[in-house]
Amino acid sequence: MKKQNYISLFFILLFLVICYFPLFLHLDQLPLRLWDEGRRAVNAFEMAQNGNFLVTHYAGEPEMWGTKPPFLIWCQVFWIKILGYNELAIRLPAALAGLMTILGLVLFSRKILKRPMIGIFAALVLLTTRGFISEHMTRSGDFDALLTLWTTAFLLVFFVWLNRIKNQESIDKNQKLVYLIALFITLAALTKSIAAFFFLPGMFLYALFQKQLILILKSKHTWFAVLGVIFAVGGFYVLREQFNPGYLEAV
């Protein structure tokens, strides 16, 4: 057992080293880009300065050009407090989101599919895909890597939940999963607004195909979860409008 544990640890460390090079190597080498990344960096800088975690600011005024919710900015401010005002603090949330997405695929394949190599190959595909390792994604201070993390998470949990529920009793037994789905959808919405909901039609069709849609719609936990998402996401927009009149119109 000890030998097997050491071998497993070796391969885990090797995999993390492989992840390091495309995700983190020279992450802070390039200066901040003038497009979205630079504007998000200003939002994070001003939030760290003024302590207003509800209304993002640009040039001292409420941000009305980039109207997305501030979850990414919160993460950037967190790293600014630790690392200071630099490129690494702005880009680290996206890079870490990329790493968590990859580890999530590996864990899902090992625990749920019982075929860990599928997750490893999926991870290697992502690590060598320019659409994932590029500007606007895991190597810049933008929304999309975090959005990818949360949408991947709620889709994988949805798959697990749908395959575990067979009747009302099994829904009650696995109720934590539906609330976990709601949590990830909420985080996705607080990251990039309406983009969080693009997968919902596909989830609806998959549940219909699996002949579990009626069972899901009849469950009180489904509706509690839906209300939770509406309350959390809608609550942010209502509060932002109260402190920043005109925000909803800008959105």
Residues 154 and 184 sit within 8 Å (Cβ to Cβ): yes
Upper half-sphere CA count for residue 234 (Cβ side, 13 Å): 6
Residue 28 has a pLDDT of 95
Q: Considering the entire predicted model, what is its pTM?
A: 0.94
pLDDT tens-place string over residues 175-198: 999 999 999 999 999 999 999 999
pLDDT tens-place string over residues 28-39: 999 998 889 999
CA dist 206 to 108, 117, 155, 158, 203, Å? 19, 25, 11, 10, 5
Question: Dihedral of CA 204/205/207/212: which sign?
Answer: positive
Please choose, from the candidates 162, 150, 161, 141, the residue with its C-alpha nearest in 3D space to the C-alpha of residue 104: 150
- Rounded to an integer, what distance in angstroms lies between the CA atom of residue 190 and that of residue 237? 10
Residue 1 has a pLDDT of 65
Q: How confident is the model at residue 9 (pLDDT cuts 50, 70, 90)?
A: confident
